[in-house]
A = this chain, B = another copy of it.
Amino acid sequence: MLLDTAWRGDPRAVGKLISTVESGRPDDERAVAAAAFPRTGRAWVLGVTGPPGAGKSSLVDRLVTLLRHRDERVAVVAVDPSSPFSGGAILGDRLRMQDHATDPGVFVRSMATRGQAGGLARATVGAVRVLDAAGWPWIVVETVGAGQVEIDVAQASDTTVVVVNPGWGDSVQAVKAGLLEIADVLVVNKADRPGADQAVRDLQLTLDLALEPPEWRPPVLCTTATTGEGIDGLWDAVERQRAFLHDGARLTRRRTARLAGELRRLVEAAAAAHASRRVSGPRFDALVADIAARHLDPLAAAERLLAE
Protein backbone atom coordinates (compact mmCIF):
# COMPACT_ATOMS: atom_id res chain seq x y z
CA MET A 1 0.00 0.00 0.00
CA LEU A 2 2.66 2.47 1.15
CA LEU A 3 4.90 0.94 -1.51
CA ASP A 4 2.38 1.41 -4.32
CA THR A 5 1.75 4.99 -3.25
CA ALA A 6 5.50 5.62 -3.24
CA TRP A 7 6.01 4.06 -6.67
CA ARG A 8 3.31 6.40 -7.97
CA GLY A 9 5.63 9.19 -6.86
CA ASP A 10 3.84 10.43 -3.75
CA PRO A 11 6.49 12.43 -1.87
CA ARG A 12 5.14 11.63 1.60
CA ALA A 13 5.17 7.89 0.93
CA VAL A 14 8.67 8.20 -0.55
CA GLY A 15 9.79 10.07 2.56
CA LYS A 16 8.39 7.35 4.80
CA LEU A 17 10.22 4.63 2.87
CA ILE A 18 13.47 6.56 3.15
CA SER A 19 12.92 6.89 6.89
CA THR A 20 12.46 3.13 7.02
CA VAL A 21 15.73 2.58 5.17
CA GLU A 22 17.39 5.04 7.50
CA SER A 23 16.05 3.40 10.63
CA GLY A 24 18.64 0.65 10.49
CA ARG A 25 16.06 -2.04 11.33
CA PRO A 26 17.40 -4.94 9.24
CA ASP A 27 14.06 -6.56 8.36
CA ASP A 28 12.45 -3.30 7.27
CA GLU A 29 15.56 -2.27 5.37
CA ARG A 30 15.57 -5.60 3.54
CA ALA A 31 11.87 -5.38 2.73
CA VAL A 32 12.18 -1.90 1.21
CA ALA A 33 15.33 -2.89 -0.71
CA ALA A 34 13.63 -5.99 -2.10
CA ALA A 35 10.59 -3.97 -3.23
CA ALA A 36 12.51 -1.01 -4.64
CA PHE A 37 15.43 -2.71 -6.32
CA PRO A 38 13.67 -4.35 -9.29
CA ARG A 39 12.24 -0.94 -10.22
CA THR A 40 15.61 0.84 -10.23
CA GLY A 41 18.10 1.68 -12.96
CA ARG A 42 16.15 4.42 -14.68
CA ALA A 43 17.37 7.46 -12.74
CA TRP A 44 20.62 9.26 -13.47
CA VAL A 45 22.52 9.66 -10.19
CA LEU A 46 24.78 12.68 -9.94
CA GLY A 47 27.16 12.69 -7.00
CA VAL A 48 28.59 16.03 -5.83
CA THR A 49 31.41 15.83 -3.30
CA GLY A 50 34.39 17.82 -2.04
CA PRO A 51 35.86 19.36 1.10
CA PRO A 52 33.62 21.27 3.53
CA GLY A 53 33.02 24.88 2.51
CA ALA A 54 33.70 24.30 -1.19
CA GLY A 55 30.25 25.60 -2.04
CA LYS A 56 28.65 22.29 -2.96
CA SER A 57 25.22 23.26 -1.68
CA SER A 58 25.14 26.45 -3.76
CA LEU A 59 26.30 24.49 -6.76
CA VAL A 60 23.62 21.85 -6.23
CA ASP A 61 21.04 24.60 -5.91
CA ARG A 62 22.18 26.00 -9.27
CA LEU A 63 21.97 22.58 -10.88
CA VAL A 64 18.46 22.09 -9.52
CA THR A 65 17.42 25.44 -10.97
CA LEU A 66 18.97 24.51 -14.33
CA LEU A 67 17.16 21.16 -14.42
CA ARG A 68 13.86 22.79 -13.45
CA HIS A 69 14.25 25.30 -16.31
CA ARG A 70 14.42 22.28 -18.59
CA ASP A 71 11.32 20.88 -16.90
CA GLU A 72 13.19 17.94 -15.41
CA ARG A 73 12.13 16.63 -12.00
CA VAL A 74 15.00 16.30 -9.57
CA ALA A 75 15.55 14.78 -6.11
CA VAL A 76 18.37 15.95 -3.83
CA VAL A 77 19.84 13.74 -1.12
CA ALA A 78 22.18 15.70 1.17
CA VAL A 79 24.54 13.65 3.30
CA ASP A 80 26.44 16.60 4.71
CA PRO A 81 25.21 17.29 8.24
CA SER A 82 26.07 20.97 7.81
CA SER A 83 24.21 21.27 4.52
CA PRO A 84 21.23 23.61 3.97
CA PHE A 85 18.93 20.63 4.39
CA SER A 86 19.75 20.01 8.03
CA GLY A 87 19.73 22.30 11.05
CA GLY A 88 23.39 23.24 10.82
CA ALA A 89 23.19 25.53 7.80
CA ILE A 90 23.64 29.24 7.66
CA LEU A 91 20.57 31.29 6.93
CA GLY A 92 21.57 32.25 3.41
CA ASP A 93 21.79 28.63 2.32
CA ARG A 94 18.44 27.88 3.83
CA LEU A 95 16.74 30.75 2.09
CA ARG A 96 18.29 29.83 -1.22
CA MET A 97 17.11 26.22 -1.16
CA GLN A 98 13.68 27.47 -0.16
CA ASP A 99 13.22 28.70 -3.72
CA HIS A 100 12.47 25.06 -4.44
CA ALA A 101 10.57 24.29 -1.23
CA THR A 102 7.12 24.66 -2.77
CA ASP A 103 8.08 23.16 -6.15
CA PRO A 104 6.56 19.67 -6.49
CA GLY A 105 9.20 18.91 -9.13
CA VAL A 106 11.91 19.03 -6.47
CA PHE A 107 12.32 16.49 -3.65
CA VAL A 108 14.84 17.31 -0.92
CA ARG A 109 16.00 14.94 1.77
CA SER A 110 18.87 15.16 4.22
CA MET A 111 20.35 11.99 5.64
CA ALA A 112 21.03 12.02 9.37
CA THR A 113 24.33 10.59 10.56
CA ARG A 114 23.75 7.13 11.94
CA GLY A 115 25.79 5.15 14.43
CA GLN A 116 28.42 3.68 12.15
CA ALA A 117 29.96 5.47 9.21
CA GLY A 118 29.16 2.50 6.97
CA GLY A 119 25.51 2.75 7.97
CA LEU A 120 25.18 6.23 6.51
CA ALA A 121 26.57 5.20 3.12
CA ARG A 122 24.25 2.23 3.11
CA ALA A 123 21.20 4.30 4.06
CA THR A 124 22.07 6.84 1.35
CA VAL A 125 22.31 4.14 -1.30
CA GLY A 126 18.96 2.83 -0.02
CA ALA A 127 17.37 6.29 -0.22
CA VAL A 128 18.64 6.78 -3.79
CA ARG A 129 17.10 3.44 -4.69
CA VAL A 130 13.71 4.41 -3.27
CA LEU A 131 13.78 7.67 -5.28
CA ASP A 132 14.83 5.80 -8.42
CA ALA A 133 12.02 3.27 -7.94
CA ALA A 134 9.56 6.13 -7.35
CA GLY A 135 10.41 7.51 -10.77
CA TRP A 136 12.66 10.50 -10.09
CA PRO A 137 14.69 10.85 -13.29
CA TRP A 138 17.49 12.94 -11.72
CA ILE A 139 18.94 12.28 -8.29
CA VAL A 140 21.67 14.55 -6.94
CA VAL A 141 23.60 13.18 -3.95
CA GLU A 142 25.63 15.76 -2.10
CA THR A 143 28.35 14.52 0.30
CA VAL A 144 31.24 16.18 2.10
CA GLY A 145 34.26 14.38 0.73
CA ALA A 146 37.22 13.06 2.70
CA GLY A 147 36.36 9.72 4.27
CA GLN A 148 35.68 6.27 2.88
CA VAL A 149 31.94 6.76 3.30
CA GLU A 150 31.91 9.72 0.97
CA ILE A 151 33.94 7.79 -1.57
CA ASP A 152 31.51 4.87 -1.32
CA VAL A 153 28.58 7.22 -1.84
CA ALA A 154 30.28 9.10 -4.67
CA GLN A 155 31.07 5.80 -6.34
CA ALA A 156 27.40 4.95 -6.29
CA SER A 157 26.85 7.73 -8.83
CA ASP A 158 26.65 7.71 -12.61
CA THR A 159 28.41 11.07 -12.71
CA THR A 160 30.68 12.13 -9.86
CA VAL A 161 31.42 15.84 -9.63
CA VAL A 162 34.28 16.75 -7.30
CA VAL A 163 34.25 20.37 -6.12
CA VAL A 164 37.29 22.21 -4.74
CA ASN A 165 38.19 25.86 -4.18
CA PRO A 166 41.12 27.92 -5.41
CA GLY A 167 44.22 27.44 -3.28
CA TRP A 168 46.68 24.67 -2.82
CA GLY A 169 45.04 23.14 0.28
CA ASP A 170 41.79 22.00 -1.31
CA SER A 171 43.40 20.34 -4.32
CA VAL A 172 45.97 18.52 -2.22
CA GLN A 173 43.26 17.35 0.16
CA ALA A 174 41.20 16.09 -2.77
CA VAL A 175 44.19 14.19 -4.16
CA LYS A 176 45.04 12.69 -0.77
CA ALA A 177 41.46 11.63 -0.14
CA GLY A 178 41.43 9.79 -3.46
CA LEU A 179 38.73 12.08 -4.87
CA LEU A 180 40.57 12.64 -8.15
CA GLU A 181 40.36 8.94 -8.91
CA ILE A 182 36.58 8.92 -8.62
CA ALA A 183 35.93 12.25 -10.33
CA ASP A 184 34.15 12.37 -13.68
CA VAL A 185 34.09 16.16 -13.62
CA LEU A 186 36.36 18.42 -11.56
CA VAL A 187 35.08 21.83 -10.55
CA VAL A 188 37.03 24.73 -9.09
CA ASN A 189 34.21 26.66 -7.45
CA LYS A 190 34.48 30.24 -6.11
CA ALA A 191 36.54 30.84 -9.23
CA ASP A 192 36.19 34.62 -8.75
CA ARG A 193 38.79 34.27 -6.00
CA PRO A 194 42.51 34.52 -6.68
CA GLY A 195 44.30 31.31 -7.62
CA ALA A 196 41.52 29.63 -9.61
CA ASP A 197 43.64 29.30 -12.79
CA GLN A 198 46.50 27.89 -10.74
CA ALA A 199 44.14 25.34 -9.13
CA VAL A 200 42.98 24.26 -12.60
CA ARG A 201 46.60 23.88 -13.74
CA ASP A 202 47.49 21.91 -10.57
CA LEU A 203 44.59 19.53 -11.09
CA GLN A 204 45.38 19.10 -14.80
CA LEU A 205 49.00 18.36 -13.87
CA THR A 206 47.90 15.75 -11.35
CA LEU A 207 45.68 14.15 -13.99
CA ASP A 208 48.69 14.11 -16.36
CA LEU A 209 50.56 12.02 -13.81
CA ALA A 210 48.13 9.08 -14.10
CA LEU A 211 50.10 5.98 -15.04
CA GLU A 212 47.55 4.91 -17.59
CA PRO A 213 45.56 7.53 -19.47
CA PRO A 214 41.93 6.79 -18.54
CA GLU A 215 39.22 6.18 -21.12
CA TRP A 216 37.50 9.28 -19.80
CA ARG A 217 39.66 12.15 -18.62
CA PRO A 218 37.71 14.36 -16.21
CA PRO A 219 37.42 17.93 -17.52
CA VAL A 220 38.47 20.62 -15.04
CA LEU A 221 36.06 23.56 -14.96
CA CYS A 222 35.63 26.84 -13.15
CA THR A 223 32.35 27.91 -11.56
CA THR A 224 31.11 30.67 -9.29
CA ALA A 225 27.93 29.22 -7.83
CA THR A 226 26.95 32.47 -6.12
CA THR A 227 26.61 34.25 -9.48
CA GLY A 228 25.82 31.22 -11.65
CA GLU A 229 28.98 31.71 -13.70
CA GLY A 230 30.13 28.46 -15.32
CA ILE A 231 27.05 26.40 -14.42
CA ASP A 232 26.07 25.91 -18.09
CA GLY A 233 29.62 24.72 -18.82
CA LEU A 234 29.43 22.30 -15.91
CA TRP A 235 26.17 20.93 -17.26
CA ASP A 236 27.68 20.52 -20.73
CA ALA A 237 30.48 18.48 -19.15
CA VAL A 238 27.95 16.29 -17.34
CA GLU A 239 26.07 15.75 -20.59
CA ARG A 240 29.29 14.83 -22.44
CA GLN A 241 30.16 12.31 -19.72
CA ARG A 242 26.63 10.89 -19.92
CA ALA A 243 26.95 10.51 -23.68
CA PHE A 244 30.32 8.81 -23.16
CA LEU A 245 28.79 6.31 -20.72
CA HIS A 246 25.80 5.67 -22.99
CA ASP A 247 28.22 4.75 -25.80
CA GLY A 248 28.40 0.96 -25.99
CA ALA A 249 28.30 -1.11 -22.80
CA ARG A 250 30.11 1.43 -20.61
CA LEU A 251 27.14 2.37 -18.45
CA THR A 252 26.21 -1.27 -17.88
CA ARG A 253 29.82 -2.11 -17.00
CA ARG A 254 30.08 0.80 -14.60
CA ARG A 255 26.82 0.01 -12.87
CA THR A 256 27.63 -3.68 -12.63
CA ALA A 257 31.03 -2.88 -11.10
CA ARG A 258 29.27 -0.60 -8.65
CA LEU A 259 26.81 -3.34 -7.65
CA ALA A 260 29.72 -5.78 -7.22
CA GLY A 261 31.43 -3.27 -4.94
CA GLU A 262 28.25 -2.83 -2.94
CA LEU A 263 27.78 -6.58 -2.52
CA ARG A 264 31.43 -6.89 -1.45
CA ARG A 265 31.02 -4.19 1.20
CA LEU A 266 27.77 -5.70 2.47
CA VAL A 267 29.37 -9.13 2.91
CA GLU A 268 32.47 -7.69 4.56
CA ALA A 269 30.42 -5.49 6.89
CA ALA A 270 28.21 -8.43 7.88
CA ALA A 271 31.28 -10.59 8.58
CA ALA A 272 32.88 -7.84 10.67
CA ALA A 273 29.65 -7.37 12.62
CA HIS A 274 29.47 -11.15 13.15
CA ALA A 275 33.03 -11.11 14.50
CA SER A 276 32.56 -8.06 16.72
CA ARG A 277 29.51 -9.63 18.38
CA ARG A 278 31.68 -12.61 19.29
CA VAL A 279 34.65 -10.74 20.76
CA SER A 280 32.86 -9.28 23.75
CA GLY A 281 30.38 -10.41 26.35
CA PRO A 282 30.27 -13.19 28.93
CA ARG A 283 30.99 -16.05 26.51
CA PHE A 284 34.11 -14.30 25.23
CA ASP A 285 35.25 -13.51 28.78
CA ALA A 286 34.74 -17.13 29.82
CA LEU A 287 36.88 -18.36 26.95
CA VAL A 288 39.61 -15.85 27.81
CA ALA A 289 39.56 -17.19 31.38
CA ASP A 290 39.86 -20.74 30.01
CA ILE A 291 42.84 -19.66 27.91
CA ALA A 292 44.47 -17.84 30.82
CA ALA A 293 44.10 -21.04 32.86
CA ARG A 294 45.73 -22.93 29.97
CA HIS A 295 42.67 -25.16 29.54
CA LEU A 296 42.35 -24.07 25.94
CA ASP A 297 44.71 -22.48 23.42
CA PRO A 298 43.78 -19.26 21.59
CA LEU A 299 43.47 -20.88 18.15
CA ALA A 300 41.08 -23.53 19.47
CA ALA A 301 39.10 -20.85 21.33
CA ALA A 302 38.78 -18.75 18.17
CA GLU A 303 37.46 -21.75 16.28
CA ARG A 304 34.91 -22.45 18.97
CA LEU A 305 33.69 -18.84 19.03
CA LEU A 306 33.26 -18.79 15.27
CA ALA A 307 31.55 -22.17 15.16
CA GLU A 308 28.95 -21.25 17.81
Chain A contact residues, CB within 8 Å of chain B: 29-30, 33-34, 36-38, 40-41, 252, 255-256, 259-260, 262-264, 266-268, 270-272, 274-276, 278-279, 284-285, 287-289, 291-292, 294, 297-303, 305-306
**With A29-B299, A33-B299 known to touch, is A291 a contact of B279 (CB < 8 Å)?**
no
Which of B30, B272, B275 interacts with A299 by CB under 8 Å? B30
Contact B259 A33 (CB under 8 A): no
Nearest chain B CB to A203's CB is how many angstroms away? 29
Nearest chain B CB to A152's CB is how many angstroms away? 13
The 5 closest A-B pairs by CB, nearest first: A271-B275, A37-B297, A266-B302, A264-B279, A260-B288
Q: Which residues of B contact A271 (CB under 8 A)?
A: 271-272, 274-275, 306
A18→B302 CA distance, assembly (Å): 21
Q: Which residues of B contact A263 (CB under 8 A)?
A: 279, 284, 287-288, 291, 298, 301-302, 305
The oligomer's copy count stands at 2
**With A279-B264, A297-B33 known to touch, is A302 a contact of B259 (CB < 8 Å)?**
no
Nearest chain B CB to A234's CB is how many angstroms away? 30
Contact B292 A252 (CB under 8 A): yes
**With A256-B292, A259-B298, A288-B256 known to touch, is A267 a contact of B305 (CB < 8 Å)?**
yes
Q: Which residues of B contact A299 (CB under 8 A)?
A: 29-30, 33-34, 266
Which of B29, B40, B284, B302 interacts with A270 by CB under 8 Å? B302
Name the residue on B nearest A129 (C-beta).
B297
Contact A272 B270 (CB under 8 A): no
Q: Which residues of B contact A300 (CB under 8 A)?
A: 30, 33-34
A to B CB contacts below 8 Å, 13 in the list: A36-B297, A37-B298, A41-B294, A256-B289, A259-B291, A260-B288, A263-B279, A263-B287, A263-B298, A263-B305, A266-B298, A267-B275, A270-B302
Name the residue on B nearest A275 (C-beta).
B271
Q: Which residues of B contact A33 (CB under 8 A)?
A: 297-300
Q: Which residues of B contact A252 (CB under 8 A)?
A: 292
Q: Which residues of B contact A276 (CB under 8 A)?
A: 268
Nearest chain B CB to A5's CB is how many angstroms away? 20
Name the residue on B nearest A257 (C-beta).
B288
Name the residue on B nearest A302 (C-beta).
B266
A297→B132 CA distance, assembly (Å): 14
Q: Which residues of B contact A287 (CB under 8 A)?
A: 263
A65→B291 CA distance, assembly (Å): 34
Nearest chain B CB to A262's CB is how many angstroms away? 5
14 further A-B contacts with Cβ under 8 Å, apart from A41-B294, A270-B302, A271-B272, are A33-B300, A256-B289, A260-B288, A263-B284, A263-B288, A263-B291, A266-B301, A266-B302, A267-B278, A270-B275, A271-B274, A272-B272, A272-B275, A274-B306
